[in-house]
Structure 1
Amino acid sequence: MTKQMKKQGFNPYLPSWEYIPDAEPYVFGDRVYIYGSHDRFNGHAFCLNDYVCWSAPVDNLADWRYEGVIYRKTDDPLNPDGRMCLYAPDVTVGPDGRYYLYYVLDKVPVVSVAVSDTPAGKFEFYGYVRYPDGTRLGEREGDQPQFDPGVLTEGDRTYLYTGFCAVGDRSRKGAQATVLGPDMLTIVEEPVFVLPSEPYSEGTGFEGHEFFEAPSIRKVGDKYYLIYSSVVMHELCYAVSDHPTKGFKYGGVIVSNCDLHIDTYKPANKPMYYGGNNHGSIVEINGQWYIFYHRQTNGTHYSRQGCLEPIEILEDGSIPQVEMTSCGPNGGPLVGRGEYPAYIACNLFYKDEEMYTGTYGAWMDGRFPKITQDGKDGDEEIGYIMNMRDSATAGFKYFDCKGIKQVKIKVRGYCRGEFQVKTAWDGPVLGTIPVDFTNIWTEYTADIAIPDGVHALYFTYTGEGNASLASFTLI
C-alpha cells in the first residue's frame, strides 16, 4: 500500500478564497490560532466582514480548521446597525484564564473589549478601556485616538499598545503603551509614548522606519519585542526593550510584502510583488519562530491574505529579514513534482515597475497582473493570476526539483504567445510553452528540463493580449 504524502503548506496559508489580514498568532494548547480583521473579496474598504478564527495543529501548519464567526460587528453597543468596521484585533489571556479580544471600530477613538471562555469563542462584548473615573481612553482631552490594539498580560497587568501616525502628522507622536489592571479595562498607568512617529524621530534611530501602525507585542526570553508597520507600510519592523513601557530601540525589518531590501536574488531596491500596508507578529510554534504578515490581492488594498515565514532570532536578539516565499508554512521547499495553484506566487511583476498596490488610487490600473478569484465573497473558488500581459512574471519559491522533464500550465484568456520558464527572474529561459486564445481553462505542455536541486520557478508571458494562469504542473 502506497503511503499518502502529507499535505504541503503554502502561502497564503488559508484557503485562497479567505481574506484574513492583520493576523495575531498564538499557541493555546496544541493548536495555533489566528485572530485578524476580515476583508471582503472585491470589497470597497478594509475589514468589511465579521471576525472569524482559524486554527491549526502546532505540528502541521498546512492543516487549518475554520472555527467560525467569533464576533460580529453588531455585537458592540456603539455599532448596532453595523455601519462601522471591525479593525485589527488582538487577544490575550487574562488573570482569570479567560480570553480577551481587544479591537477598535473604524469611526471611534476608543478600545473595545470582548471576552470568551475558549480561544475560538464565541466572544461577548465586555466593555471599553477606561480611566478610573470612567472616561474612555481616547475621549479625554489630550488623548491620542486609539487604533490597532496589541496586548500582553503578565500577572495582573495587561500592557496595551496602540497608535496610528501618518507621515507629517504632528498631532500623532507615536505608538503608546497603557497599563491595565486585573479587570482588563481600567487604566492603572496612563499612556506613554514608546515608538516615535515620523515628525518626532530625529535622533532616535528609527529614521526611515518610524512607527505608522500595527503595534504587536511579544516577550522573547526577558526581552520585549514590539512588532510594527513602518511609515513605508510594506515592512514589518521590530524594536526591543528590557521594559514593556520604555527604552525600545529599533531592531530592523523582519519582512516586506514587496520583498524590498532583500538582495540575495535581486537588487535590494527592486520590488518583487505589489506591496501595501502590513500587519502581523511573531510566534514560536514547536520550537520554530515565525513571522505572520499579509499580502495584497485582486489589485486593491481591500482583499488581503495572510502569509507566514520561518524566522531566526539570533543570539544577540536580532532578527534577519526573510524573503517572501510560496513555501513558508511547509518547513522547507515544496516537492518538485505535481500540480501547484498559481495563487501561491510570491513574486508578481510587470515591465513597468511598481512598489505599491494602487499607488494612484484604491485600485491598480489595467497594466498589472493580479491574484484574484471567480465568484463573489465567500464562494470557495480557487484563486488564480489574471491579466498577465507581455512581460508579466509570476515567481514561486522554492521547489526541490528532481528529474523534471516536462512542465504543464493551465491558461485561459485572449492571449497568443508563450510562457517562458526560468529558475531565476533574470536567468536564462529553460523552455517555452506556447498558448492561444481560449475562453476555458486549457492545458499546454512542453518538454522543459528543470535542473536538479532547490530552485525558484518563474513564468513570464510574452505575446499579445493577456493571459490568466491557474496552475502549473511539474512532470
Structure 2
Amino acid sequence: MKRKEFFLMKKQVYNPFLPIYECVPDGEPHVFGDRVYLYGSHDKEGGETFCMLDYTTYSAPVTDLSDWRCEGTIYRADQDPAYPTDRKFMYAPDVVQGNDGRFYLYYCMSGRAGFGGYNGPISVAVSDSPAGPFRYLGFVHYPDGSPMLNYICFDPGVINDDGTIRIYYGTWSDEALDKDFPNHEEAIQTVMQRYHKSRNEVLQTEGSVMGPCTVTVGDDMLTVTSEPRHIIPAYPIGTSFEEHPFFEASSIRKIGGKYYFIYSSWQNHELCYATSDLPDRDFVFGGTIVSNGDVGYHGRSEKDRLNMTGTTHGSIECINGQWYVFYHRLTHKSDYSRQACAEPITILPDGSIPQVEITSCGLNGKPLHGTGTYPAVIACNITNGHMPHGSNKIYTDSFPNATHCGEDRFIGEIQDGTMLGYKYFAFSGAKEIGVQYRGSCNGKFVVSDNMDGKNIVAEIPVAPADAWTESRAPLHISDGTHPLYLFYRGDGEAAVKELYLA
C-alpha cells in the first residue's frame, strides 16, 4: 500500500498529523472556505540546514481533521529573483486573502543555517486558489519602488484586517539587552554584519533595528501605506515581556476585536502571545501557549524538558468552532527536520490562553483507540532525563530521537533510562502491549500509566536483534483514558518502530 493511500484511509489522527515522513514546520493554519490549509516552511527529512525544500501545502475539511491531503508543491525557491544567490532557501511564510479575492504568499529568502539572510525584502507571490500554485508577484516596497527594508525583514505574518493588509515581521538577538550598546564596538559590528545594516541604521534607528514590527500595504499587496513601527519595545527589560522576550516567528490573529500577536520567545521552545486593542502598539504579554518540551507546563523547568527542544513557530486557528495551536517538534537530533503538530486550546472569557500539554492525539479531538498498531514516533515525550536544546546544528551526542533510515521511521538511540511517553489512549478491555524493535538491547521496557513509573502495567522483554523483531507482554490496565510511558531498563541500545495494543 502506498504511503499516501494509507494516510488518507486513517480514521483517527495523531501527532505529527501529516505523514510521518513529512517535515512542514513554521505552520500558519488558515481556514478558507470549508477547508483548513497549513502553510509553512519545508524541511528535508534528515536535512542539513533549515528549509531545504520548496513550499508544499496540506489541507483538510474543517469537519474531519484526520483527512489531510497534500496539495503538492505550491511555490518554488527558484521562482524568486534572488535565487540562487546567498539567499537560496525560503523561510517561514504566511498566506492572506486579498481584497480582490486572490491569495497572497508572503515570505523571506535566507541562506544556509540563516547565514546570508536578513538582507532581503519581503517577497510576495499570488494565486487564484489557496491551494496554489503561486507565481512571483514582487516585493514589499515604497511608492517610489524602493524595497521596504526598515528594521529586519524576517518571518512575515499577515492579516486582512477588515480590508487593511497588515504585515508583522522582525527578529531579535541578545544585543538588544545591552543598554550601553552604542558604546560597545564589537556588539555594533556583530549587528551590522549579521543583519547587513549600516552603522547609521544600527545606531540611529528608533528603538533598535531589532524587535517585532508592523507595516501596512495597499490593495496591490506590495506598496507600503504606513511607516513601519515596533509593536513591542526591542528592549524588554522593565516591560511585561522581560521573562519571555520576542525572538522571531511573528503571527497575528484578531479575536473579538482584540489583536493576538503570537511569537517564538527568546527561550526558543515556546510559542507565546501578546494582546492589544490596537494593531500597531500597546501589546501586553499574555503568556505561553505551548512549549515543544512542555517547559513551563505545571511549572516544569527547562532542565526537566520532556523532549529535545529547539526552534518553534506556529499560530492559532479556529476550526469548526474549536481553537487549536499549531507548532512543530524536532527530529533527527537537529533543528533541520521539524514536523507539524497541533493541540486544542481554550480561550477563556477574559481572553487568556492557558498553556497546553503536548500530546500524541492532538487534532483527534479525543484519546486514541486503546487497540491497534501505532508508529512509535508518535511519542509526545522522548527523553533520557537530560535532553539538549537545539542550537542550529546536528548533534552527534547519543540521545533518543525520532529519526529514519530508508523507509523506516523509528525512535533510535534508546538506552537505559530512556522514557517514551504516549498521551492519551482510551482503553476498554485491553490485554496486551508490544513493540517492534531492533538493536543491541538486552533488558525490558517497563510500562507505566504514570510518569513517575511507579504503577507498572506491563513489562516487555527485549533481546539483541539485528532485524525488526516483535515482543509482546500482558497489559494490566483499567478501562478509561490513560497515558502510557515506556521506560527502557537494560544494557545496549534499542530502536523502536511500532507500538501494539490489543
CA contact (8 A) 1:95 1:155 kept: no
Correspondence list, 1:418-429, <5 A: 418-428=444-454, 429=456
* Residue 201 (1) aligns with residue 236 (2): yes
> Who is 1:456 aligned against?
483
How far apart in 2 are the matches of 1:268 and 1:38? 28
Distance 1:82 1:34, change over 3 A: farther
SS across alignment from 1:118: coil
Question: Do structure 1's residue 470 and structure 2's residue 494 form an aligned pair?
Answer: no
- What's the counterpart of residue 272 of structure 2? 237
- Residue-by-residue CA offset, 1:338-373 (whole Å, 9 max, x unaligned): 11111101001004x12513x5x7123433100011
Question: Residue 356 of structure 1 aligns with which residue?
Answer: 389
Determine the structure 2 residue equivalent to 1:330.
364
CA distance in 2, matches of 1:173, 1:164: 6
Confirm or deny that 1:286 pairs with 2:320: yes
Do the aligned partners of residues 405 and 46 (structure 1) sit closer, same or farther apart at CA in structure 2, a change above 3 Å counting? same
Which stretch has the larger CA shift, 363-372 or 122-131?
Answer: 363-372
Deviations 1:251-305 (A, max 9, x none): 00000001001128x6786211111011000000000000000000011110000
Q: 1:371-427, CA deviations, whole angstroms, 9 ceiling, x for partnerless residues?
A: 01122xxxxx35210110111111000011122221111111111111110112213
Amino acid in structure 2 at the alignment position of 1:312? T
Residue 220 of structure 2: which of 183, 191, 212 is its match? 183
Residue of structure 2 in register with 1:166 after alignment: 173
Whole-angstrom distance in 1 between the partners of 2:141 and 2:87: 24
Among 407, 411, 414, the alignment partner of 1:385 is 411
CA distance in 1: counterparts of 2:314 and 2:212, whole angstroms: 16
Say whether the 8 Å CA contact 1:367–1:389 is kept in structure 2: no
1:217 aligned to which of 243, 252, 255: 252
Determine the structure 1 residue equivalent to 2:147.
136
* C-alpha contact 1:37 1:87 (8 A) present in aligned 2: yes
Q: How many correspondences in the alignment?
A: 456
- Unaligned segments of structure 1, at least 5 residues: 376-380
* Amino acid in structure 1 at the alignment position of 2:55: Y
Match in the other structure for 1:397: 423
Find the residue that maps to 1:212 and give its secondary structure. Answer: strand
Give the Å deviation of 1:335. Answer: 1.1
1:371 pairs with 2:402 = yes
Equivalence for 2:190? none
More strand by share: 1
Aligned partners of 1:365 and 1:440: how far apart in 2?
Answer: 24
Which amino acid in structure 1 is aligned with residue 286 of structure 2? G
- CA separation in 2, counterparts of 1:55 and 1:296? 22
Superposed counterparts of 1:429-448, under 5 Å: 429-448=456-475
CA distance in 2, matches of 1:391, 1:73: 43
Match of 1:109 among 105, 114, 120: 120
Separation in structure 2 between the aligned mates of residue 456 and residue 212 of structure 1, nearest angstrom: 33
What SS is found at the alignment partner of 1:174? coil
Q: Name 2:20's counterpart in structure 1.
A: 16
Alpha-carbon offset, residue 109 of structure 1: 2.6
In 1, the alpha carbon distance for the partners of 2:22 and 2:32 equals 22
Q: TM-score, normalised by structure 1?
A: 0.93
Structure 2 Cα separation of the partners of residues 344 and 329 of structure 1? 13
Per the alignment, residue 378 of structure 1 pairs with: none
- Cα distance in 1, alignment partners of residues 330 and 450 from structure 2: 23
> What corresponds to 1:304 in structure 2?
338
Is contact 1:398-1:454 (8 Å) kept? yes
Task: Give the secondary-structure state (helix, strand or coil) at the position aligned to 2:14.
Answer: coil
Q: Is the 8 A contact 1:156 1:181 kept in 2?
A: no
Alignment partner for residue 439 of structure 2, among 400, 413, 424?
413
Choose which of 216, 234, 246 in structure 1 pairs with 2:281.
246
Post-superposition offset of 1:118: 0.3
Unaligned runs of 5+ in 2: 1-8, 111-116, 182-207
Indicate conservation of the 8 Å contact 1:262/1:268, yes or no: no
CA offsets 1:300-353 (integer angstroms, 9 cap, x no match): 1100000000000010000000000000110011111111111101001004x1
Aligned amino acid, residue 222 of structure 2: L
Determine helix, strand or coil for the equivalent of 1:263: helix
Query: SS of the counterpart of 1:225?
Result: strand
Shift of residue 219, structure 1, vs aligned partner: 0.7
Matched, 1:76 2:99: no
SS at match of 2:417: coil
Contact 1:325 1:397 in 2 (8 A): yes
Select between 401-410 and 94-103 the one with higher mean Cα deviation.
Answer: 401-410
Report the AA paired with residue 193 of structure 1: H
Contact 1:196 1:210 in 2 (8 A): no
Shift of 1:451: 2.1
SS at the partner of 2:78? helix
Deviation for aligned residue 1:56: 0.6
Contact map agreement 1:36 1:88 (CA 8 A) in 2: yes
User: For residues 303 and 34 of structure 2, what CA distance do their matches in structure 1 show?
Assistant: 40
- The residue type paired with residue 348 of structure 1 is I
User: 1:256 corresponds to which residue?
Assistant: 291
- The aligned amino acid for 1:177 is T
Secondary structure at the residue paired with 1:343? Answer: helix
Q: Aligned-residue CA RMSD in angstroms?
A: 1.7
* 2:93 counterpart residue number: 89
Measure how far apart 1:120 and its partner are: 0.6
Structure 1 residues 75-84 or 455-464, which shifts more? Answer: 75-84
Q: What letter matches 2:232 in structure 1?
A: L
Q: Does 1:64 align with 2:68?
A: yes
Superposed CA offset, 1:44-63 (max 9, x none): 11001000111011111111
- The normalised TM-score by structure 2 is 0.88
Letter in structure 2 aligned against 1:249? V
| Contact preservation (8 Å) 2:27, 2:340 | yes
Moved more, 402-411 or 279-288: 402-411
Q: Note if contact 1:384-1:468 (Cα within 8 Å) is conserved in structure 2.
A: yes
Local SS of the residue matching 2:52: coil
| Counterpart AA for 1:371 | A
